[in-house]
Structure 1
Amino acid sequence: MPMLKDDYQKIEKINGVIYNMSPAANFRHGIVNGNIYGKVREGLKNSLCLVFMENLDYKYHPEVNDDYVVPDIMLVCNRKGLKHSAYHGTPKFIVETLSPATALRDKTEKKEIYEQAGVSEYWIVSPREHAVEIYYLEEGKYKLVYSYILQEDKDEKDYNADTIITLREFPHIAMTLGEIFDKVD
């Protein structure tokens, strides 16, 4: 029987366990991903690197098994690793945007997967808290280098909406903390 449009389910397979990621996260999740994706895509205009948003499986150890995850945002530079609907290689940058259903997995299992795979920069973004954690791979382990919670009230001493965040390996790709959470109420 053919699959109907309404039958589509987004899933991930981690350590042989299938996780259903349907229904989709709320609209704030998509707004944040779109904001980050737009800035990264704009910064890659004259590059061979590509950025994907929620639409490419990442087979993080295809030589061992068929496990895969679907990062919210993934930047890849080795195009030879693109095969059908998946990437087999080491992304340069990954973002996971938290939702109530995936937060624990994003902060534990997936963080460990990306660390072991050698992904040099990993962001965990929370639309609900307007927060960003930025991890850099250093000596094979992730180190939390930056942690922000948006304060957009200019009258507050901790105002930081204009704080510029750049990608470590792509310093020309920049966005402000306010731009990440633009239109997220």
Structure 2
Amino acid sequence: MPLLEEEYRKEEKINGVIYDMSPSPNYQHGIVDGNIYSIIKSGLKGTLCLVFMENLDYKYHAQENNDYVIPDVMIICDRKHLKGGSYTGTPRFIVETLSPATALRDKTVKKELYQNAGVEEYWIISPRERAVEIYYLENGKYDLKYSYILQDDSEEEHYNADTVVTLKDFPKISMTLAEMFENVE
């Protein structure tokens, strides 16, 4: 029996509003998420923390409502808040990878949501520009700490492909800008 189109739908519910996330973003989005996920997964070996990629609902106000988002990459360390396909604790780290359909929401509504939830580190990545913005939570507000646009031509003055980015709360997990955007043209 063929699956109905509705069964493929991916959506988020923010402040009671459902946002359709179908169809999937372009393949570069998945490549970047996969690169970051792989590096983090190997760096978390031997810890109680887990990394998820685009497959776990984050219920950020579970006590108040049933709103949820699906971060592109998320590290969680408090496993008692995992149940079924969702997490109700506070993630330690979140990445949102921009697509034309979600860019504004990722940079405004979701950024504020993660800030208010107490997520310590938030990355906003643009595969198209091969750029990353890194925010740290300081005194309850996100502060933009680092902003990079990959320049991988070693002949260029601002070459930075070997710049190392380290997760603030996970000093053993780091990656270069080149690794982050590997296979993204």
Q: In the alignment, which residue of structure 2 is the partner of 1:108? A: 108
Letter in 1 for 2:124: I
Task: After superposition, give the CA deviation of every residue in 1:132-177 in whole Å (9 maximum; x if it has no partner).
Answer: 0000000000000000000001111110000000000001101000
Q: In the alignment, which residue of structure 2 is the partner of 1:154? A: 154
TM-score norm. by structure 2 comes to 0.97
Task: After superposition, give the CA deviation of every residue in 1:51-70 in whole Å (9 maximum; x if it has no partner).
Answer: 00000000001111000000
Aligned positions of 1:83-98 closer than 5 A: 83-98=83-98
Letter in 1 for 2:103: A
Q: In the alignment, which residue of structure 2 is the partner of 1:4? A: 3
Q: Which moved more, 1:161-170 or 1:5-14?
A: 5-14
Structure 1: gaps of 5 or more residues: none
Q: Give, in whole Å, the separation in 1 of the partners of 2:169 and 2:66.
A: 29
Q: Give, in whole Å, the separation in 1 of the partners of 2:74 and 2:4.
A: 25
Matched, 1:38 2:38: yes
Q: Give, in whole Å, the separation in 1 of the partners of 2:146 and 2:4.
A: 41
Say which SS state the counterpart of residue 29 (structure 2) adopts: helix
1:3, CA displacement in angstroms? 8.7
Q: Cα–Cα, structure 1 residues 63 and 3, in superposed 2: closer, same or farther, change >3 Å?
A: farther
Q: In the alignment, which residue of structure 1 is the partner of 2:27? A: 27
Taking only aligned residues, the RMSD between alpha carbons, in angstroms, comes to 1.2
Q: Give, in whole Å, the separation in 2 of the partners of 1:47 and 1:24.
A: 32
Task: After superposition, give the CA deviation of every residue in 1:55-98 in whole Å (9 maximum; x if it has no partner).
Answer: 00000011110000000000000000101100000000000000
Q: Give, in whole Å, the separation in 2 of the partners of 1:153 and 1:128.
A: 17
Say which SS state the counterpart of residue 94 (structure 1) adopts: strand
Runs of 4 or more above 6 Å deviation? none
For these two proteins, the number of residue pairs brought into alignment is: 184
Report the identity percentage.
Answer: 67
Q: Give, in whole Å, the separation in 2 of the partners of 1:3 and 1:113.
A: 37
TM-score norm. by structure 1 comes to 0.97
Q: In the alignment, which residue of structure 2 is the partner of 1:71? A: 71
Q: In the alignment, which residue of structure 2 is the partner of 1:140? A: 140
Q: Give, in whole Å, the separation in 2 of the partners of 1:184 and 1:155.
A: 19
Q: In the alignment, which residue of structure 2 is the partner of 1:181? A: 181
Matched, 1:124 2:124: yes
Letter in 2 for 1:156: E
Matched, 1:51 2:51: yes
Q: In the alignment, which residue of structure 2 is the partner of 1:168? A: 168
